[in-house]
Amino acid sequence: MASLFNISSRFEDVRIPPPIPMVDRVPRQQEAAPLLGDSDYDSERDEILTVRGRPTLLERINSTRVWPMATLLLLSSIFVGLFVSQYTESKRRERDPGEQACLTSECLTLSNSILSSLDESQDPCEDFYKFANGGWIAAHPLPAEKGSFGHFEALAQANQRIIQHFLETPSATSSFGTASNDELLLQKLRDFYWSCLNTRRLNGIGAEPLIRFVQKLKQLLRGQGFEAADGMSALVSEGLTAAIAFLHSRGVDALFSFAIEGDVGVDASFMIPWLYQGKLGLPSKEYYKETSIVEVYQDVVERLLIALEPESKRTETAHRLAKQVIKFETRLANASLDAHVYQDPFAIYNRLPLSNLTKSLPQIKFSEYFDTFAPDRLAENVVITCPEYLSSLSEILNETSAEVIEAYLVVRAALTLSPNLGTTSEPWKAQHTLLETLTGIKKGAGELSWQQPPRAPLIDATKTFRGSIGARSGLAYWVHT
């Protein structure tokens, strides 16, 4: 009991402190205020201010300068963006002005051309071709001497009318204000043109000019290349080279052809001879498989040989040679490259030394051949577009008699030059028969149209004086438009 009493007395000596009254930790004004900031951030800021002190006046001024500069930069960016956008939009409108009224003379002319070509009586859903072209076809009927007629032919006719104007107008020289040399050139053009219009004289001359040309060809071919004693069976390169050079220098294509063009494989500005396969009597190799066309062609060949051969018994000889010439050309056609291969620029580019060309076709002395066209400089290289054709041509020449080769060259000359003769001559009629067959024009229609000036003389003048006619036509077009 004593111990227990002593313990209780100890508890009585312990004084318990009175309870602490509850007080508000946050002022009521701050509690009512919204929570705009972070208390931790504010306490940190107060500590920094306590350490560093309040900002100076200069620091406050510098801090206030940032806002105007930022505002100016923002406004400048907005202004530049608006300017660029407006400039771009104006350029786009210049390129694409949108729908505008067709009021200019050029627009009205083009619109009239388009509308006049239409045939509004046709339903475009049923026949769009007639709807789009019916008006033009009605205004341009197919000429009797043509198998087809289109916009390019109409353009050629318009150019021919321009050429006809300055060739037939006496005052054309003074109106152009040309110099004395140009006046002399223009007078030559007119003389040539009017000589072609003299059809009565052309018909009176007949085939005599072509006969003399063929005789000259035969003299060159036979001079060193034929032996008449054994039926003209031996042909050496000198005669054939001279004959081919004679024909090619006068625009007659035979066996092969060449042109001076840029060397596209090395330097396009450097000119080099290009050798091509020769043209055929018919438009392409496929025609030689058409029996009806070959029969007409053989008859034309026979007529040409008869008209150009003054010797006796020429009818029987011409009939036999015509068949053999057709066979010879058929072999050349079969050796020729197909059209799609001949259009491949990589397939036809074969740049070789001139010596390789002589090896491929030893019947032709190409050094002498090129001297005919360029005696001052011999070509060192040549582009052969058809190496296989030349090899086949060499084999064909070896297997063909000299008589047939001569007849072939005569026919090539006749087909090329006979259109320049009078329309009453037999060579002209023969080649025109072939032309009618190949183009599908009515028989006799082309002959009547050809006699009407100035179509044939204009074509002859354009071919003969191509550069001069072109320059004069451009000047005439510029003056009269």
Question: How many C-beta neighbours within 10 Å does residue 191 have?
Answer: 10
Q: What integer pLDDT is reported at residue 145 of this predicted model?
A: 67
Domains and CATH numbers, the chain: 232-420 (1.10.1380.10)
Residues written for the chain: 481
Q: Which residue has the tokens 């024009």?
A: 441
Residue type, 236: V
The tokens describing 146, both together, are 């043509």
Q: What integer pLDDT is reported at residue 439 of this predicted model?
A: 84
Q: What integer pLDDT is reported at residue 395 of this predicted model?
A: 94
- Whether pTM > 0.75 for this model: the answer is no
- Burial of 275-306, coded b for 16+ CB within 10 Å and e otherwise, reads bbbbbbbbeebeebeeeebbebbbbbbbbbbb
Q: CA 188: distance to chain centroid?
A: 32
| Measured distance CA(106)–CA(121) in Å, rounded | 27
Q: What integer pLDDT is reported at residue 181 of this predicted model?
A: 72
| Measured distance CA(158)–CA(173) in Å, rounded | 21
For residue 134, give every residue at least 6 positions away whose Cβ sits within 8 Å of its Cβ, in sequence order, or none: 118, 119, 121, 122
What is the arrangement of strands in the sheet containing 351-353, beginning at the earlier edge strand?
256-263, 267-277, 381-384, 351-353
pLDDT tens over the chain, length 481 residues: 444 444 444 444 545 555 555 444 445 554 444 444 455 555 555 555 454 556 665 566 566 666 677 777 787 788 778 877 877 777 766 665 556 778 788 888 888 888 888 988 889 899 998 888 888 888 888 776 677 788 888 888 788 788 777 777 775 444 444 456 777 777 888 887 787 777 888 889 999 999 999 999 999 998 754 443 344 444 456 789 999 999 999 999 999 998 888 888 888 888 888 999 999 999 999 999 999 999 999 999 999 999 998 665 577 888 999 999 999 999 999 999 888 888 888 889 999 888 888 888 999 988 888 888 876 666 688 999 988 999 999 999 999 999 999 999 999 999 999 988 888 999 999 999 998 889 877 776 655 454 444 556 666 666 666 666 666 666 665 555 5
For the four alpha carbons of 264, 268, 270 and 275, in that order, the dihedral sign comes to positive
For residue 439, give every residue at least 6 positions away whose Cβ sits within 8 Å of its Cβ, in sequence order, or none: 146, 147
| Measured distance CA(425)–CA(230) in Å, rounded | 34
Count H helices, E strands: the chain? 24, 4
